[in-house]
């Protein structure tokens, strides 16, 4: 596949890995956060950590939209889905995410009409073909996905589709990164920046990370060579004593972002004063809601959303794991109360979450520890 296969080349990876080792200062440990769950996925899918020296640790950040949705919002969405006449539409990712009262899949089993869609446009199509039903789109995602939702709302408004509604859960990445940077115990050396969010917001919004916090950020693509090259770029900045925002993903990300997409977002949505993030708590100005002008398509206004608040269990230490303070296995409930089948915290919810990944792949680590200890 063009623009994919050429960035999965093992030969180039080996050479890049050798360069990465060269750049590591002896005795120094480097901790980088890949902000985006898509990068976490790339890292596991391709076994990328095999190419990294011991000195480099990657910490999986908060950029997984389904992981950070608070349980109460899932419960609210299910409450909407249970209303008579409602068709709830959702991306496949959301289907298994548990709220306090189960997941979409559970609600579907109990009789709610919940359908999976690939695009918000498909939800719109369902609204068109079911004029006597109320079709709600469970909107999740960061700035990459928000313009698609906004554009779909504009289309619904233009077509006068009065039965199409959005339950808006879009979040924004910058406040989350700032929350992590502001936590006193974080020990990050740099960031692998979210490439696809950056197609929309561009690279400028990250500049405070370099100028205000002195940490480098490299905006990265999603193929394994992209990620490896970004690690290389981060290490080179550190070796040269620089902290800058750099763009590795130039083939897709324009430095200035996508002005049209940003305009569409701000036409339809506005920033919420605060929003709860699973594992990170309330973060101010970190999410979007529908503007008054589009109230006619806002599920939050149409339905009396219960506004359930389900506190993250006290024992859950996802916040610390997300900030890179704790390794997944150091959490008190990891592997006992909290497993992929019965997740408690955000990091265990999605297969991309740090804890779920470690739970599933840790057996491999164990094998390695045993091998090292016996040889």
Q: Which of residues 34-73 bind other proteins (CB under 8 A)?
A: 36-38, 44-51, 63-66, 71
Are the C-beta atoms of residues 135 and 165 closer than 8 Å to each other? yes
Which listed residue (31, 83, 148, 267) binds other proteins by CB under 8 A?
148
Which listed residue (120, 205, 216, 279) binds other proteins by CB under 8 A?
120
* Stretch of residues binding other proteins (CB under 8 A), selected from 179-187, 268-276, 280-288, 314-322: 314-322
DSSP letter for each residue of 327-374 = -GGGSTTBTTTB-SSS--SHHHHSTTSHHHHHHHHHHHHHHHHHHHHH
Q: How many residues does the chain have?
A: 375
Which listed residue (96, 133, 291, 301) binds other proteins by CB under 8 A?
96
151 counts as binding other proteins under rule CB under 8 A:
yes
Strand bridging mode 269-271 / 288-290: antiparallel
Which listed residue (28, 121, 187, 306) binds other proteins by CB under 8 A?
121
* Stretch of residues binding other proteins (CB under 8 A), selected from 25-33, 110-118, 210-218, 290-298: 110-118
User: CA-CA distances (angstroms) from residue 321 to 36, 96, 171, 282, 329?
Assistant: 15, 22, 20, 17, 9
Which listed residue (55, 116, 174, 296) binds other proteins by CB under 8 A?
116
Total site size for other proteins, rule CB under 8 A = 117
287 counts as binding other proteins under rule CB under 8 A:
no
348 counts as binding other proteins under rule CB under 8 A:
no
User: CA-CA distances (angstroms) from residue 304 to 25, 137, 215, 265, 307?
Assistant: 57, 16, 44, 25, 8
Q: Residue 238 has which token pair?
A: 């550190």
Question: 115-121: which pairs have CB atoms within 8 A and are 24 or more residues apart?
Answer: 115/87, 115/88, 115/89, 115/90, 116/89, 116/90, 116/91, 116/92, 117/89, 117/90, 117/91, 118/91, 119/148, 120/148, 120/149, 120/151, 120/152, 120/166, 121/148, 121/152, 121/155
**Which residues within the stretch 214-273 sit at the binding site for other proteins (CB under 8 A)?**
222, 224-225, 229, 232, 248, 250-254, 258-261, 264
Query: Residue 214 or 281: which CB sits closer to other proteins?
Result: 281
Which listed residue (31, 57, 83, 101) binds other proteins by CB under 8 A?
101
> Of 83, 112, 69, 92, nearest to 308 (Cα)?
69
Shortest distance, position 332 Cβ to other proteins, whole Å: 5
Query: Residue 142 or 206: which CB sits closer to other proteins?
Result: 142
Query: Residue 209 or 233: which CB sits closer to other proteins?
Result: 233
- What is the b/e burial string over 136-174, where b = at least 16 CB atoms within 10 angstroms of the residue's CB? bbbbbbbbbbbbbbbbbbeebbeeebebbbbbbbbbbbb
Residue 106 backbone dihedrals phi, psi, to 5 degrees: -65, -45
CA atoms within 13 A on the CB side of 279: 30
* Stretch of residues binding other proteins (CB under 8 A), selected from 77-85, 161-169, 192-200, 288-296: 192-200
Shortest distance, position 292 Cβ to other proteins, whole Å: 23
29 counts as binding other proteins under rule CB under 8 A:
no
344 counts as binding other proteins under rule CB under 8 A:
yes
Shortest distance, position 286 Cβ to other proteins, whole Å: 14
**Which residues within the stretch 157-176 sit at the binding site for other proteins (CB under 8 A)?**
none
Query: Residue 96 or 301: which CB sits closer to other proteins?
Result: 96
Which listed residue (177, 316, 354, 355) binds other proteins by CB under 8 A?
316
Which listed residue (27, 84, 118, 292) binds other proteins by CB under 8 A?
118
Query: Residue 38 or 324: which CB sits closer to other proteins?
Result: 38
Which listed residue (55, 57, 83, 95) binds other proteins by CB under 8 A?
95
128 counts as binding other proteins under rule CB under 8 A:
no
310 counts as binding other proteins under rule CB under 8 A:
yes
200 counts as binding other proteins under rule CB under 8 A:
yes
Helix (H) or strand (E) holding 60: strand 56-63
> Of 54, 132, 140, 131, nearest to 97 (Cα)?
140
> Of 280, 217, 231, 251, nearest to 43 (Cα)?
231
């Amino acid at each position: 596949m063009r623009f994919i296969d050429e960035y999965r080349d093992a030969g180039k990876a080996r050479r890049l890995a050798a360069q990465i080792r060269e750049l590591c200062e002896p005795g120094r440990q480097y901790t980088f956060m890949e902000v985006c769950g898509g990068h976490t996925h790339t890292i596991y899918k391709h076994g990328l950590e095999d190419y990294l020296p011991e000195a480099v640790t990657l910490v999986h950040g908060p950029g997984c939209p389904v992981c950070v949705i608070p349980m109460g919002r899932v419960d609210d969405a299910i409450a909407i889905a249970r209303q008579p006449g409602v068709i709830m539409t959702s991306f496949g990712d959301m289907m298994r995410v548990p709220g306090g009262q189960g997941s979409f899949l559970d609600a579907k089993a109990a009789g709610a009409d919940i359908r999976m869609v690939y695009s918000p446009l498909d939800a719109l199509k369902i609204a068109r073909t079911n004029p006597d039903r109320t079709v709600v789109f469970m909107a999740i995602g960061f700035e990459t996905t928000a313009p698609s939702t906004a554009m779909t709302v504009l289309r619904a408004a233009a077509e006068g589709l009065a039965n199409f509604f959005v339950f808006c859960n879009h979040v924004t990445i910058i406040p989350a990164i700032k929350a992590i940077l502001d936590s006193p115990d974080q020990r990050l050396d740099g960031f692998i920046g979210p490439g696809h969010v950056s197609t929309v917001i561009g690279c400028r919004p990250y500049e405070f990370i370099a100028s205000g916090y002195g940490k480098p950020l490299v905006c990265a693509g999603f193929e394994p060579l992209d990620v490896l090259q970004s690690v290389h770029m981060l290490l080179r900045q550190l070796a040269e004593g620089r902290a800058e925002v750099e763009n590795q993903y130039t083939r897709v990300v324009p430095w200035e972002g996508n002005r049209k997409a940003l305009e569409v977002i701000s036409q339809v949505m506005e920033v919420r004063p605060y929003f709860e993030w699973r594992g990170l708590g309330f973060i101010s100005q970190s999410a979007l809601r529908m503007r008054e002008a589009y109230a006619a398509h806002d599920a939050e206004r149409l339905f009396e959303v219960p506004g359930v608040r389900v506190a993250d269990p006290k024992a859950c230490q996802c916040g610390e794991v997300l900030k890179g303070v704790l390794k997944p296995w150091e959490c008190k409930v990891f592997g006992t109360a909290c497993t992929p089948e019965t997740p408690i915290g955000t990091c265990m919810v999605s297969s991309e979450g740090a804890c779920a990944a470690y739970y599933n792949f840790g057996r491999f680590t164990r094998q390695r520890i045993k091998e090292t200890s016996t040889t």
